[in-house]
Amino acid sequence: MPRPSRSTSFGFSGQTSYLRALLRGWTDQPRLLTAVDLLIAFLLVIYPFVMGGRESWGHWLLITCACLLSGLWCLHRFFEAGRLRWLGLEPLLFAGLLLVWFQTQPLPDALLRRVSGEYERLIPAWGLLQQAAKPDVEAGNSGATDTAGATDAEGTTGAWTTISFLPVETRHALLVLTAYGLIAAVFVQRLSSEADCRWILKLTAVSGVLMAIFAVLQLLLSNDRFFWFYQHPWTGTREVLKGAFTNRNHFAQFLVLSLGPLIWWALAGGEPGANVTVMNRRGLGPAQGNHSQIDTLLDPRQLLLLAGTAGVLISVLLSLSRGGFLAAGTACCVVFAGLWRSGRVGSSMAVSIIVLGSLAIAGMAVFGGQKVENRVAQLATLDSDKLDESNARRSIWRADFRALQRFPLLGTGVGSHRYVYPVFMEDLADYTSCTFSHAESSWVHLALETGWTGVTLLALGLGVIVLRIGLAFLRRTDSGRIAALAAAAAALAGGLVHSVADFIWYVPAIVVTTLALIIAALRLCSADGSDSGIPLPRPAWMGMAAGCLVLAISVQPALQQRITGEHWWYRYLVSAFESRRAIAERGLETDEAIPVGDSDEGVEAAASMVAESADNSEDELTQTEGVAAYGRRTAVQPADPRERIQELRAQLAMLLKSWKVRPAHPDVAVHIARRSLELFELMQSESDNPLPLVQIRDAVLGSDFTSQQAMLEFLNRAFGNNIRLPLLADTMSRNALLLCPLQTEAWKNLISTGFLRDPRDAEHLRMMAQTLRLGRFDPTIRFSVGQSLFLSGRPEEAVVQWNAAFHANRDIRKRICVALAPRFPADAVLQNFKPGLMELEDVFQAYRQQQSPNDMRRLVEAIAEQSRKIPEASLDAMTTDAEASDGGSWEPAGDEAAGAGGDVALNSAGDEELQEPRLVQLLMGAASTAGELKIPGIQETLLRRAATVAPESEWPRRALGMLLFERQDYPSAERLFAACAELSPGDTQLEDLRRECRRLQQQKQRRLRTVSGAASGK
């Protein structure tokens, strides 16, 4: 690294001299070395602003810069000569790369079964995909698809052959890991002295301060786009501080990496002896020097660094990342302990800590105190129920550990997590509104994707690093090295803490910075030795430089394809989301879900999605990035099918463009299939021959076609170009399964499109069984299989599948009820599914469309029976002053708290807000129907119970008052109207009703007296 000359000058003039010396050092050293240093500075300071390196652009930059950096270093060594330095950790790195490479290699069936027998058990039907050739189909502007990337390595033996369930992504991960290895190797070679390590610490500190400043500006001036122009499909910039990261946890961790270097730089980062000199010159009294100069009293450099440290710490807090809080606290403790051990700081430490703490507290008070306080309070409780309120982290961890038991040795393949965990997540029904792209724990995620082998390799490497740093703290006496070592070790300690509950190692910018700090720490643990290492001849250095150049050139086409494919994929997602939001304002709903990808806040976003979509979520995708998680929310459909057709055409065109440039993207293939099937059904509804796909299948099966060609000719004549859409869906579903055999939605699609390959659809049952094997915990899969069975004339078997989905998801429950209502009486639903009170709402709405008095009578009786857990309010209770009511919710006790169908008791604020309005509407709707059916007893019971649920609502009381008014119970009705008037003051209609009650009561009493007098006169 460039080494500026030592200077005892402090203040702004000293910093100017420092910069001049730095530039002079760069110009004096060899140009190749200067280029290497500039690339290192780029990776540490600029690269994090490329969305943390997570996007395809970030991967391209990472891999290209790694090859260029290592190539330039090898060229420098070729011209200057030198040795190859080692840290002793290289064998573990090579073993890790070998493990990931081995996951992508085709293996014999016998060997794969020895690795894990789960491959054969999970996907026995995968060989069916090889039996039929891909039809030459075209849809829209581009229908022919290139699947070369889908079949290049998975073999044609009829069985899955690789350890990885997603070998395409595992190969790309191998390339990323290789880039990390190259960058680390250059760091090992380049950092040869304490001055070099100090330079890395300062670069890290500058990067953190710049990211914090950018994050604050982006939030204050936010238009919900990153850098004010980049619209990310899954997250925005208005919620919390994120900087250039899509996840606040990643943003917080990146800042934590800079905390140790910042504190070190501010308190002990000057030249040896400088701090002592400054402290001596700042004492009070005439003997301590000339106090007329401001730079003898205050060090502007130190003040700026302390302000930067406070700003970074405040930014971590304002990110509201609880993992970031812990990581920041750990880093601060480690660096201060190391600085105390070094003895490099004097009495100024106390003042500095006070200033730092004061600035942090002031920042929290100004910018976000209550939210920060809540997050810290949650963290301080150490209560898992408060730290993980949605139970999402614990659920995904349980699922991952179940999967790990099945694939213990080598895992399921790097990049496969989001496709593996649903197969093993028993409570998946609680999280159908999101997809967990990551395990929300670096260690759990690593264990699932690389097995215990990968965890062991990483643990060994980290163990060696921690041991060497710990021994250096104990043995070394060089105060400057101990202080710098503490700064680097603080970043490692914070990352280790944060990695337990977040997948922070997914972000390239964090990994690169962490590698730089670890290698700097290890270099500080040993003595300077530029001549140590293995001697290599110049031709070897040239050969390695050529290899780096070849690697950089060879990977460019694939990386460019990923960039272009991701561009169109993101455009599709943004289009779909905007369409959904625009149409949602119309209040129209559909049963199809739009994908929400790597969600911003991991499991916390997943939890919010669950809460927001509890009434209408159904299908894929998210997320919870989580998590960097994929989330899934329900879409809405416009009233005019032609408008939706145009939207689908545009979206399908984007997806096909993405697929053409990058055919090895399983999610794109699945969404092409999904959009194609939806578009086909809509176009069929507008055509002259409006048969849905299921009826077309029935017609094909009943026609006894002798060949696929004959069937396709018939379908082309009958349905024209529309039939190309289900053909495209079938092709894309098969291509997606060739890339990853665990995609349940692709198997589900083949249940309905399989007849397009075989007119007899002989493998229909096997496809159905395969779908259930992978999606047995997914209620959407259970519903789809049940729907297929129901439409095939097997309602009993359909009910068995629907039973598993009925209680899991409201949208699915609605669809089941709509399917059953025209064909089965309400008693069949009540007996087969045993719905709870809130579930009866969906049954009630579906059967109300049929207008069957018998069904409605039965359902009203069932609602009244299910509502028995709600105490029936007495008239006195309903006519008390509204201000005296507790305004609270009813809370069933004991076993009544859980209904037959798994009702949620209204015993928390969140549940009240979600359930109470629906429950009141259900009871009032049932009461209205009971009135139409002339069942006054049940009507009154339901109204009284509705008044119990909503003690501050006058609606049930008014309805009950009208019922009593019609029954001529005028005193009771007048009391209810009076209570309603207290709840809704100023309602003149209520006053009129009260006067009418009094008038009619007086008339009634006069008639009674007249009748009584006449009777006594006789």
**Token duo for residue 793:** 């004339």
pLDDT score, position 329? 84
Has residue 732 got a pLDDT over 80? Answer: yes
Give the rounded percent of residues in the chain with a pLDDT score beyond 70. 75
Q: Which whole number is the average pLDDT over 793-801? A: 83
pLDDT score, position 793? 78
Angstrom CA distances, 641 to 249, 584, 678, 684, 696, stand at 42, 15, 11, 11, 21
Q: How far apart are the first and last CA of the chain?
A: 123
pLDDT score, position 986? 77
Query: How do residues 251-292 score in pLDDT, each as one tens digit?
Result: 999 999 999 999 999 887 655 444 444 444 444 444 444 444
pLDDT score, position 333? 83
Q: Closest by alpha carbon to 45, among 63, 65, 30, 29? A: 65
pLDDT score, position 296? 46
Query: How do residues 126-156 score in pLDDT, each as one tens digit?
Result: 877 765 434 443 333 333 333 333 344 333 4
pLDDT score, position 268? 74
CA distance 22 to 37: 12
Q: Closest by alpha carbon to 917, among 956, 868, 883? A: 956
pLDDT, greater one: 881 or 1001: 1001
pLDDT score, position 995? 83
Q: What is the DSSP pairing of strand 630-634 with strand 434-435?
A: antiparallel
User: What pLDDT band is residue 438 in, cutting at 50, 70 and 90?
Assistant: confident
User: What pLDDT band is residue 599 in, cutting at 50, 70 and 90?
Assistant: very low
CA distance 499 to 1003: 80
Q: Which whole number is the average pLDDT over 113-122? A: 89
User: What pLDDT band is residue 23 in, cutting at 50, 70 and 90?
Assistant: low
Give the rounded percent of residues in the chain with a pLDDT score beyond 90. 32
Q: Which residue has the tokens 């970031």?
A: 324
CB neighbourhood size of 409 (10 A): 13
Of the candidate ranges 62-66, 634-638, 782-786, 862-866, the one whose mean pLDDT is the lowest: 634-638
CA distance 187 to 87: 11
pLDDT, greater one: 88 or 25: 88
Angstrom CA distances, 880 to 899, 976, 994, stand at 30, 9, 16
Question: Given CA atoms 982, 984, 985, 990 in this order, what sign does their dihedral have?
Answer: negative
Has residue 902 got a pLDDT over 60? Answer: no
Most confident listed range (359-363, 935-939, 950-954): 935-939
pLDDT, greater one: 1000 or 620: 1000
Query: How do residues 520-542 score in pLDDT, each as one tens digit?
Result: 999 998 866 545 678 888 899 99
Of the candidate ranges 193-197, 273-277, 979-983, the one whose mean pLDDT is the lowest: 273-277
Cβ 665 vs Cβ 658: under 8 Å: yes
Cβ 941 vs Cβ 842: under 8 Å: no
pLDDT score, position 706? 85
Q: Which helix (H) or strand (E) holds 822?
A: none
pLDDT score, position 24? 62
Has residue 334 got a pLDDT over 70? Answer: yes
Rg of the Cα atoms in the chain: 35
Has residue 160 got a pLDDT over 70? Answer: yes
CA distance 746 to 751: 9
Question: Given CA atoms 833, 836, 837, 842 in this order, what sign does their dihedral have?
Answer: negative
Whether the link from the prior residue into 515 is cis, omega within 30° of 0, is no
Has residue 907 got a pLDDT over 60? Answer: no
Query: How do residues 808-864 score in pLDDT, each as one tens digit?
Result: 878 888 888 888 888 888 888 898 888 988 888 889 888 888 888 898 999 988 998
pLDDT score, position 2? 58
pLDDT score, position 27? 64
pLDDT, greater one: 517 or 821: 517
Q: Which whole number is the average pLDDT over 448-460? A: 95
pLDDT, greater one: 746 or 989: 746
pLDDT score, position 572? 93
Of the candidate ranges 254-268, 433-447, 496-510, 991-1005, the one whose mean pLDDT is the lowest: 991-1005
pLDDT score, position 865? 87
Amino acid identity, residue 448? L
| Residue 755 DSSP SS3 | helix
Has residue 765 got a pLDDT over 90? Answer: no
Cβ 817 vs Cβ 843: under 8 Å: yes
CA distance 334 to 488: 10
pLDDT score, position 305? 87
Has residue 873 got a pLDDT over 60? Answer: yes
Question: Given CA atoms 908, 914, 915, 917 in this order, what sign does their dihedral have?
Answer: positive
pLDDT score, position 589? 45
Amino acid identity, residue 549? L
Of the candidate ranges 324-333, 447-456, 604-613, the one whose mean pLDDT is the lowest: 604-613
pLDDT score, position 612? 37
Mean pLDDT over all residues of the chain? 78
Has residue 403 got a pLDDT over 80? Answer: yes
**Token duo for residue 599:** 């969600």
CA distance 803 to 35: 66
| Residue 631 DSSP SS3 | strand
pLDDT score, position 511? 95
Output the pTM of the full model.
0.81
pLDDT score, position 1017? 57
pLDDT score, position 318? 86
Cβ 805 vs Cβ 457: under 8 Å: no
Q: Which whole number is the average pLDDT over 718-730? A: 92
pLDDT score, position 923? 86
